[in-house]
């Protein structure tokens, strides 16, 4: 079953606006990762935040993590049409072999000109 649930499922904004996506999960984690998927393509890793971190930045991306609420958010600032894609959160749990990731259901972001 999917541990992560993204919210909203779909988001449509204008170029230049900020986009915020949220992710909730259920169990204790080692880290939480965000990935991007363009239509019909493989996933690309965006950013990883460890369980002892609260906020992380990478370019126009800002990720927060609240382990007490078991939630994370991804903020994309000054969005561009090229940011149009699906965004997934993925959690790596503390126990279990193979360093598996559990992916959420994704947020479809559309950035319009």
Residues that bind another protein (CB under 8 A): 2, 4, 30-31, 33, 35, 40-45, 48, 50, 88, 90, 92, 97-106, 108
Q: Distance (Å, rounded) from C-alpha 23 to C-alpha 47?
A: 14
CB nearer another protein, residue 15 or residue 101: 101
Q: How far is the CB of 81 from another protein (least distance, A)?
A: 21
CB nearer another protein, residue 52 or residue 113: 52
CB nearer another protein, residue 50 or residue 80: 50
Which residue is listed with tokens 């279990």? 96
Residues forming beta bridges with residue 30, ordered by sequence position: none
SS3 83: helix
Q: How far is the CB of 26 from another protein (least distance, A)?
A: 14
Q: How far is the CB of 43 from another protein (least distance, A)?
A: 4
Q: Distance (Å, rounded) from C-alpha 33 to C-alpha 97?
A: 18
Residue 30 · residue 3 · CB < 8 Å: no
């Amino acid at each position: 079953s999917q541990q992560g649930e993204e919210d909203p499922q779909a988001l449509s904004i204008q170029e230049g606006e900020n986009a915020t996506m949220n992710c909730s999960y259920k169990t204790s984690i080692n880290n939480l990762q965000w990935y991007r998927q363009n239509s019909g393509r493989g996933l690309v890793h965006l950013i990883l935040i460890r369980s002892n971190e609260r906020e992380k930045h990478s370019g126009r991306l800002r990720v927060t993590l609240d382990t007490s609420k078991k939630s994370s958010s991804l903020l994309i600032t000054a969005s561009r049409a090229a940011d149009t894609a699906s965004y997934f959160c993925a959690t790596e749990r503390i126990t279990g072999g193979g360093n598996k990731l559990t992916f959420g259901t994704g947020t479809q972001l559309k950035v319009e000109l």
